[in-house]
Amino acid sequence: MILIGTMNITRTRGQGDFHCPTCGSLREYSLKSRRPFLTLYFIPTVPIGASELFVRCDGCKSNWDPAILNMSARDHQVAKDTQFRVEAFRASVLVVLHGGAINDREIEALLEIGHRILPEPIDRDDLGQLCSSAVQNRVSAANYVRSVCRAWSIEQKQRALGAMFVAATADAGLDAKTLVLLASLRDAMNLTDEEYESAIEAAIQWDDAAET
């Protein structure tokens, strides 16, 4: 019986230093190439595809596109800030959807939140698509926040909680169900009572300013 299969052959093409987004600091990297080969009796014989280049951090072992070597520390910081803003807005959308069908008052609140925290304001059509996607994925607000907030600073967590508070109270106000939801978000972000209260106070001021 002839044994035929495929395997990837990885080789190191170069090394150097780069700013790793995962480590958040300057790290050594290896520039590697990966190419699939046809194997005969588990021995690579014939290449069956083009080589793929990627950068691997020698510290955390994360893999990146080679374009990352051209990014400065400032570029990484801008990218991380943009990612946080998008994640905080998506969390706010999930908070609104936690209560079921979304109404006009909640839509307006989300558009205002998007205007304040997103790099570019979102319109109603894009918001509708985002809501539809969130409903289909069936991800709870607390679980989503828990999965993305690990890279957030305390200040970012408080800012995100403030946006979620505005979203959660846009329609029904601060009822018992909303308090339970906010408590779950506080626990997901591992905020202290003082940090939580400070974020809520700032959000109330933000909400009051929007009404005047």
- Residues 64 and 80 both lie in one domain: no
205-210, Cβ contacts within 8 angstroms, sequence gap of 24 or more: 206/116, 206/162, 206/166, 207/165, 207/166, 207/169, 210/112
Average pLDDT over residues 22-28: 81
Residue 114 has pLDDT above 50, yes or no: yes
Residue 212 has pLDDT above 50, yes or no: no
Q: Tell me which range, 24-33, 164-173, 191-200, is most confidently predicted by mean pLDDT.
A: 191-200
Residue 210 has pLDDT above 60, yes or no: no
Cβ 35 vs Cβ 8: under 8 Å:
yes
60 or 207: whose pLDDT is higher? 60
Answer with the one of 32, 49, 71 that is the final residue of a domain: 71
Average pLDDT over residues 56-76: 86
Q: pLDDT per residue over 31-62, tens digit each? A: 999 888 778 766 777 777 778 899 999 988 88
Q: pLDDT per residue over 140-167, tens digit each? A: 888 999 999 988 999 999 999 999 999 9
- Residues 83 and 66 both lie in one domain: no
- Residues 192 and 135 both lie in one domain: yes
Confidence tier at 206 by pLDDT (50, 70, 90): confident
Domain that holds residue 138: 75-211
In the prediction, which pLDDT does 31 show?
A: 93
Report residue 6: phi and psi, to 5°. -135, 155
- Residues 128 and 151 both lie in one domain: yes
In the prediction, which pLDDT does 208 show?
A: 56
Answer with the one of 27, 50, 71 that is the final residue of a domain: 71
- Residues 201 and 135 both lie in one domain: yes
Confidence tier at 209 by pLDDT (50, 70, 90): low
Residue 124 has pLDDT above 70, yes or no: yes
- Residues 121 and 34 both lie in one domain: no
- Residues 154 and 178 both lie in one domain: yes
Instruction: Compute the distance between CA of residue 43 and CA of residue 173 in angstroms, rounded to an integer.
Output: 67
Using CA atoms in the order 72, 73, 76, 81, what is the torsion angle rounded to 10 degrees? -140
Confidence tier at 195 by pLDDT (50, 70, 90): very high
Judge residue 92's burial from the number of C-beta atoms within 10 Å of its C-beta, 0-12 exposed, 13-18 middle, 19 or more buried: buried
- Residues 22 and 92 both lie in one domain: no
Residue 188 sits in a domain whose CATH number is 1.10.3680.10
In the prediction, which pLDDT does 85 show?
A: 94
- Measured distance between the N- and C-terminal CA atoms of the chain, rounded to whole angstroms: 80
The first and second tokens of residue 202, run together, are 């700032």
- Residues 48 and 18 both lie in one domain: yes
- Residues 156 and 55 both lie in one domain: no
CA 36 to chain centre: 31
- Residues 206 and 103 both lie in one domain: yes
